[in-house]
Chains A and B, each alone.
Chain A
Amino acid sequence: MREPRHSDPDPPRPADAVRFEHAAVQVGGRTIWSDVNISVPSGEFCAVLGPNGVGKSTLVKAALGLVPLSAGSVTVLGQPAGQSGRRIGYLPQRRSFDPGLRVRGIDVVRLGSDGERWGVPLPFADRLLPSRRAARERVAEAIEVVGATAFAGRPIGQVSGGEQQRLLIAQALVRRPSLLVLDEPLDSLDLPSQTAVAALIARICREHGVTVMLVAHDVNPILPYLNRVAYLARGGAVCGTPAEVITSPTLTALYGTPVEVLRASDGRLVVVGEPEAPARHTDRHGDQARPW
């Protein structure tokens, strides 16, 4: 495991990219979590961990301003949540594209740059107008960064899950955001793709100075790259460096039941004694079987 970077003598950062203070969210009268304090310093790679159904996606949506807080506050890139839209790249929880969808990957990436603009894209405008040409180059660049150039021209429903995920990361990157919010980007990928996509996200964080907030329920594929961890369990959260948070005493306190963190011979951390997650996966995974 790498030394957490925020202890390095970096030049002083302007502020935390994301900061939750005593935040709470209620959905339909039920408190999902409360008194959550999380801070993600700019330029760091932060994972939001926790068992399924604990409200990790809700946390992300609260940061995006899609879910209102019932108490406390959340600041994103120095502004209240929901007011820094263009500077955030968002990748929602696993979207499955219909295998019959006849739209190319590059078109999906391009929607990330101008999809919400009214009107029709004018034919040949991206060759004639300088601003359109710049947008086109940014699309090509984002595809290049995620290594998707080879398959960006194929219909998105027909590329593999890992390739789709790369294209979707390119879509989130296309406006050169300061903050990348990724909701379970490794979910339902095979192991080699998980490792590759995790490394890609870490490289984007490092080389492009993008703050990354990544939701996961398995810490192992991303653990080598993490600067910071927010661990969400029923009712509350603990935030800090991986070395501070993923320990037996911290998780025991968080769950209110004995939890042990073991280190396997290959260096993987294993959390033992974690209470079963409540089985309510309402917003997870569409009900169709995935084709890949």
Chain B
Amino acid sequence: MVSADLAGAAGRWLASAPGSAVPTWNLVSDIRQMLMFPFMVHALRAGTIVAVTAGALGWFMVLRRQSFAGHTLAIVSFPGAAGAILLGVSVSIGYFAVTIAAALVIAAAPRSIGGRARSSESAIIGTVQAFALACGALFVSLFGGFLNGVTDLLFGSFLGISSGQVLVLLAAAVVTLALLALIARPLFFATVDPDVAAARGVPVRLLSAVFLVLLGCATAEVSQITGALLVFALLVMPAATAQRLTARPALSFTLTIAIALATAWLGLGVAFFSAYPVGFYITTFGFAGFVLASAWREGGRLVRRRARRRTPSAVVAAP
């Protein structure tokens, strides 16, 4: 049923080649035109849910320097989905089961608080990642006939999202975000200052494991929209952009969610009027935001440095 869904999505993909939806450049009427299609409404709902979840988890992931673990969880979602299609079960189940399992494996890997074991951790993560990709390749070749589906799994598609899938995403997002809210402050403590947190009785290791599982859930959600390879567009880019702009935790968290929502909506909107994959657009908008934020910060730093240099020289030049 799901593979049929994917095949159908690919078919509709071809049908939505340039010309089938043409922007009038009148924003209101364009949006109205977009919302006439139920699949587009589903996609926007799913994109909204996914953007908020990814932004929230991604903010902590970037702060915790666990992007490599997040990347692996995203990669792992590919064999998860491919395996689910092969077994004929729901793709959502495949995504969630495999990313959560991988999160538990990564959490079980030894990790010292001081960071000495980080290199061995990344070796374990890399090993898991390579094996997972290989499994995905195997599942695809075992199944044989869904090459278009493979592209969707890797690079994303928003055409095949059903209202049932939206509900699954919503339920998973509510649970994930509620748990994150429960552990948010001790997790922040354990991230910024693990030694003192541990001395204060914060269960640092447990929090790390719970966080990885939540991150697994988030990547499983995002993968369903952006594809396994472009998960980072929503997981890393908004958080990295926001953290470049401000060092205030509450502000950068809010900014992360806002940027994630903006890139998801913009990406979906533009993809609707275009023949190219949605993952590309979401990633491009995310990347543009990151570049702009970096330029803003570096520019500000340059201006300040120049101002500082000018003041003393002016004093020296004065007679």
A residues within 8 Å of B by Cβ?
A: 64, 66, 85, 90-93, 95, 98, 101-104, 107-108, 111-112, 114-121, 123, 154-155, 171-172, 283, 286-288
Q: CA of A90 to CA of B195 in the docked complex: distance in angstroms?
A: 10
Contact between chains at A111 and B193 (CB < 8 Å): yes
User: Which residues of A sit under 8 angstroms from B116, Cβ to Cβ?
Assistant: 286-287
B182-194 vs A, Cβ < 8 Å mask (1 yes, 0 no): 1111101100110
Q: What is the CB-to-nearest-CB distance from A102 to chain B, in angstroms, rounded to a whole number?
A: 4
Contact between chains at B247 and A102 (CB < 8 Å): yes
4 new A-B contacts, CB < 8 A, other than A85-B201, A111-B188, A115-B197, are A64-B199, A102-B63, A102-B252, A118-B182
Task: Out of A95, A102, A118, A155, name the residue touching B193 (CB < 8 Å).
Answer: A95
B234-247 vs A, Cβ < 8 Å mask (1 yes, 0 no): 00000000011011
Whether a CB of chain A sits under 8 angstroms from the CB of B258 is no
Task: Out of B196, B243, B246, B248, name the residue touching A112 (CB < 8 Å).
Answer: B196
Q: Could you write out 19 A-B pairs with CB less than 8 Å apart?
A: A92-B196, A92-B199, A102-B243, A102-B247, A104-B247, A111-B197, A112-B196, A114-B185, A115-B186, A115-B189, A116-B200, A116-B201, A116-B202, A118-B182, A118-B185, A118-B186, A119-B182, A286-B114, A287-B116
User: Which residues of A sit under 8 angstroms from B315, Cβ to Cβ?
Assistant: none
Contact between chains at A103 and B249 (CB < 8 Å): yes
B residues within 8 Å of A by Cβ?
A: 63, 65, 114-116, 181-186, 188-189, 192-193, 195-202, 243-244, 246-250, 252
Of B116, B189, B252, most buried by chain A (CB within 10 Å of CB) is B189
Closest 3 CB pairs of A and B: A115-B189, A92-B195, A102-B243
Asked, given contacts A98-B65, A121-B250, A155-B247, whether A90 binds B186 with beta carbons under 8 Å apart, the answer is no
Contact between chains at B186 and A117 (CB < 8 Å): yes
Q: CA of A22 to CA of B80 in the docked complex: distance in angstroms?
A: 58
Contact between chains at B192 and A119 (CB < 8 Å): no
Q: What is the CB-to-nearest-CB distance from B114 to chain A, in angstroms, rounded to a whole number?
A: 5
Contact between chains at B193 and A108 (CB < 8 Å): yes
Q: CA of A123 to CA of B252 in the docked complex: distance in angstroms?
A: 13
Asked, given contacts A116-B202, A155-B247, whether A95 binds B195 with beta carbons under 8 Å apart, the answer is yes
Q: CA of A98 to CA of B114 in the docked complex: distance in angstroms?
A: 12
Closest-by-CB residue of B relative to A283 is B114
Contact between chains at B199 and A116 (CB < 8 Å): no
Q: CA of A90 to CA of B196 in the docked complex: distance in angstroms?
A: 7
Q: What is the CB-to-nearest-CB distance from A170 to chain B, in angstroms, rounded to a whole number?
A: 12
Q: What is the CB-to-nearest-CB distance from A180 to chain B, in angstroms, rounded to a whole number?
A: 13
Q: CA of A288 to CA of B116 in the docked complex: distance in angstroms?
A: 9
Q: What is the CB-to-nearest-CB distance from B242 to chain A, in angstroms, rounded to a whole number?
A: 9
Closest-by-CB residue of B relative to A282 is B116
User: Which residues of B sit under 8 angstroms from A104, Cβ to Cβ?
Assistant: 247-248
Q: CA of A112 to CA of B185 in the docked complex: distance in angstroms?
A: 11
User: Which residues of B sit under 8 angstroms from A117, Cβ to Cβ?
Assistant: 185-186
